[in-house]
Structure formats: structure tokens, C-alpha cells
């Protein structure tokens, strides 16, 4: 069926994107670790930090940026109102990864994006719940995987098309909800409730 092939193609495309983001995340982590090791081993940098700050064991600043050979910022650490923020940019200076506090400052938010399109992955965790969200090239939600606030220990999986929910997997109820315009609720449930 055409819909089946389309779904398979979208799943394959999402798998490719997730693999690319995983590679990018690993590369970014290794870059940060390399920076830290170079900072510890670089005696002139340590001497400069000791002279510039009263605390001889810590480099203290509100912001720290690393640039590539072309002068483009590729990594930034900075203090924000709610928490610290780490951003990683590509070689053109476009942000591809950010790690910081959620909008309320009560949890964390990791966001990975592709500057050549608007697709994006968000991972967040806060006092209310945790979630993973994937967005398409128009920044419309495609996949939402999160905790069910009403039922501790249960989760939801929403699959969307053009930002509209098409399927919902509800682990607490053991139900699958599929969008259906002819239904009163807009969804058909499987298995059907008795």
C-alpha cells in the first residue's frame, strides 16, 4: 500500500536523522572533553586565568566562546537568567546543539537542530515530566514520546502529520487511538472499549 511505503520511508528518514544527531552529539562531547584537557595542559592559559581572577583554582566568567580558524563561534558557555547554557555551532556559526534549563528553570532541555532545514529534536526533563520531541522541516511536531502526568510510570507516544495528531499509543489504558474524521471524538480506539 502507498501509505505503508510512505510510512516506511519516513521512519527510515527519521532513523537517519537520529543517527546523524547521535554522531554529532558524540563529536560535540568529544570536542568539549578535548577543550577541557587542552585547558588543563596549557600552562599559559592557566597562568592567564590565575592572573585575571582572584580565585586561583577557577576561571570565572559570565561567558566563554571558542572560535574556529575563520573566527566563527563554534562553542559558547554562558550564564543565563535561569541556568548555564551550552551552545555548539557548525563551522558557519549556526547553532546546532543547545543544552540548558527549560523555560521555567526547573529542569533541563537539550535541543539539536539542522540549520539547513528546520527539523529538530528536543529532549527535556523537569519536575512535571520528561519528553522527547521530533519536529519536521516546518517545525511541526511529528513524534512526541513522554510521560503520562495523570498515571505515574505510564507513557504516551503521539505520531503526527503536519502538526496534527494521527496516532496515540496510551500505555496506561493499553489503547491505540487513530485519527478518524467520522468519529465523534475524532479518534477510533483499539481495542474497542466494551
The single residue listed with the C-alpha cell 498515571 is 151
Which residues touch 169 (CB under 8 Å, ≥6 apart)? 156, 157, 158, 175, 176, 177
By CB atoms closer than 10 A (0-12, 13-18, 19+), residue 176 is middle
**Dist. CA 10–CA 13, nearest whole Å:** 5
HEC-encoded secondary structure of the chain: CHHHHHHHHHHHHHHHHHHHHHHHHHHHHHHHHHHHHHHHHCHHHHHHHHHHCCCCCCCCCCEEEEECCCCCEEEEEEECCCCEEEEEECCCCCEEEEEEECCCCCCEEEEEECCCCCCEEEEEECCCCEEEEEECCCCCEEEEEEECCCCCCCEEEEEEECCEEEEEEECCCCEEEEECCCCCCCEEEECCCC
Q: What is the pTM of this model?
A: 0.62
| The predicted structure's pLDDT at residue 173 | 82
**How many C-beta atoms surround the C-beta of residue 177 within 10 A?**
20
Q: What grid cell was written down for 158?
A: 503521539
| The predicted structure's pLDDT at residue 24 | 73
| The predicted structure's pLDDT at residue 55 | 57
| The predicted structure's pLDDT at residue 19 | 74
Mean pLDDT, consecutive 10-residue segments, the chain of 194 residues? 70 77 70 60 50 62 88 88 86 88 81 83 85 87 86 84 86 84 82 70
Amino acid at each position: 500500500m502507498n501509505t505503508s511505503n510512505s510510512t516506511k520511508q519516513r521512519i527510515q528518514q527519521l532513523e537517519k536523522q537520529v543517527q546523524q544527531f547521535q554522531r554529532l552529539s558524540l563529536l560535540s562531547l568529544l570536542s568539549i572533553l578535548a577543550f577541557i584537557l587542552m585547558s588543563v595542559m596549557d600552562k599559559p592559559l592557566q597562568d592567564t586565568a590565575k592572573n585575571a581572577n582572584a580565585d586561583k583554582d577557577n576561571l570565572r566568567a559570565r561567558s566563554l566562546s571558542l572560535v574556529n580558524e575563520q573566527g566563527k563561534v563554534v562553542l559558547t558557555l554562558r550564564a543565563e537568567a535561569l541556568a548555564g547554557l551550552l551552545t555548539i555551532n557548525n563551522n558557519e556559526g549556526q547553532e546546532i546543539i543547545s543544552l540548558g534549563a527549560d523555560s521555567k528553570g526547573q529542569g533541563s532541555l537539550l535541543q539539536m537542530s539542522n540549520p539547513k532545514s528546520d527539523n529538530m529534536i528536543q529532549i527535556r526533563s523537569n519536575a512535571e515530566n520528561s519528553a522527547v520531541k521530533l519536529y519536521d522541516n516546518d517545525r511541526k511536531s511529528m513524534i512526541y514520546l513522554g510521560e503520562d502526568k495523570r498515571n505515574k510510570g505510564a507513557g504516551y507516544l503521539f505520531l503526527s502529520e503536519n502538526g496534527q495528531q494521527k496516532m496515540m499509543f496510551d500505555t496506561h489504558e493499553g489503547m491505540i487511538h487513530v485519527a478518524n474524521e467520522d468519529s465523534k471524538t475524532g479518534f477510533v480506539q483499539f481495542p474497542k472499549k466494551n
